């Protein structure tokens, strides 16, 4: 794992009284973005928070990219639709192109640097590059790159801890998921470790 590759954002302060955050994650269909989005929202719900999850939908369109948006708050969520999310998790180049312009100014962009080869262009955002494929591979399987990204995200936006995600994982996805729990949680931890490590911050705005 090339820890030096890591570029991470400063810790986002989570105000527990008026908690409100949202994020969009995007990549190829099959990269498991929908999965981590649901997992995050479900775990947050189990932690007593208000949540909403909106996918890009439609098997009527084959190929292309998939994305979803999660809102987490401790008050009822008015709009579940977010044009300019506070955070982005991006897993491929087309998604970067599509979503970077929409990231809120001052927001954080998490990219899987193994697949996102184009550089981010905006200067008013923080970029956290995670070599998620490699990290996942080291955890035991490239498929878990999504969990690496989730780990990296939650390490920064500390709304849920690992045990809450683990609980959510088992609870929501059931016995089928249990088989892959170890791999996924390991990937999650490595991703989190990545964020927590003392890292180069690219805060240019």
Give the residue with the Cβ less far from other proteins, 40 or 127: 40
Which residue from 5, 19, 28, 158 is in contact with other proteins, where contact means CB under 8 A? 28
Q: Does 13 bind other proteins (CB under 8 A)?
A: no
Binding segment for other proteins among 2-10, 49-57, 123-131, 173-181 (CB under 8 A)? 49-57
* DSSP-derived secondary structure for 103-118: SPTT-EEEEETTT--S
Binding of other proteins by 124 (CB under 8 A):
no
Among 3, 10, 11, 55, binds other proteins (CB under 8 A): 55
In the complex with other proteins, the residue whose CB is nearer, 42 or 153, is 42
Q: How far is the CB of 198 from other proteins (least distance, A)?
A: 31
Q: Distances in Å between the alpha carbon of 25 and those of 42, 53, 108, 183, 204?
A: 16, 11, 12, 21, 23
Q: Is 78 in the site for other proteins (CB under 8 A)?
A: yes
Task: Single out the segment in contact with other proteins by CB under 8 A; choices: 80-88, 154-162, 173-181, 187-195.
Answer: 80-88
Report residue 106 as tokens: 């001052």
The two three-digit tokens of residue 66, written as one number: 């998939």
Question: What residue has token string 């998620």?
Answer: 132
Task: Please give the Cα distance from 21 to 155 (Å, whole number).
Answer: 14
Interacting residues of 48 by C-beta distance below 8 A, sequence separation 6+:
74
Give residue 78's Cα distance to chain centre. Answer: 22
Q: In terms of CB distance, is 116 or 192 closer to other proteins?
A: 116
Q: Supply 57's token pair.
A: 């939908």
Q: In the complex, which residues of this chain contact other proteins (CB under 8 A)?
A: 28, 38, 41-42, 45, 50-55, 57-64, 77-84, 92-93, 115, 172
């Amino acid at each position: 794992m090339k820890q030096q590759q890591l570029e991470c954002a400063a810790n986002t302060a989570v105000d527990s009284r008026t908690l409100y955050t949202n994020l969009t994650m995007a990549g190829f269909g099959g990269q498991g973005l929908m999965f981590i989005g649901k997992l995050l929202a479900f775990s947050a719900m189990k932690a007593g928070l208000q949540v909403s999850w909106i996918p890009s939908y439609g098997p009527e369109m084959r190929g292309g990219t998939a994305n979803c948006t999660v809102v987490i708050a401790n008050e009822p969520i008015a709009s579940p639709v977010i044009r300019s999310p506070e955070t982005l998790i991006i897993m491929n180049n087309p998604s970067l192109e599509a979503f970077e312009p929409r990231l809120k100014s001052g927001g954080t962009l998490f990219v899987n640097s193994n697949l996102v080869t184009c550089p981010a262009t905006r200067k008013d955002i923080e970029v956290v590059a995670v070599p998620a494929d490699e990290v996942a591979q080291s955890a035991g399987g490239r498929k878990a790159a999504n969990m690496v990204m989730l780990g990296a995200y939650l390490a920064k936006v500390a709304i849920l801890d690992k045990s809450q995600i683990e609980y959510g994982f088992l609870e929501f996805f059931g016995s089928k998921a249990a088989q892959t729990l170890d791999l996924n949680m390991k990937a999650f931890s490595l991703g989190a470790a990545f964020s927590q490590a003392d890292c180069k911050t690219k805060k240019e705005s």
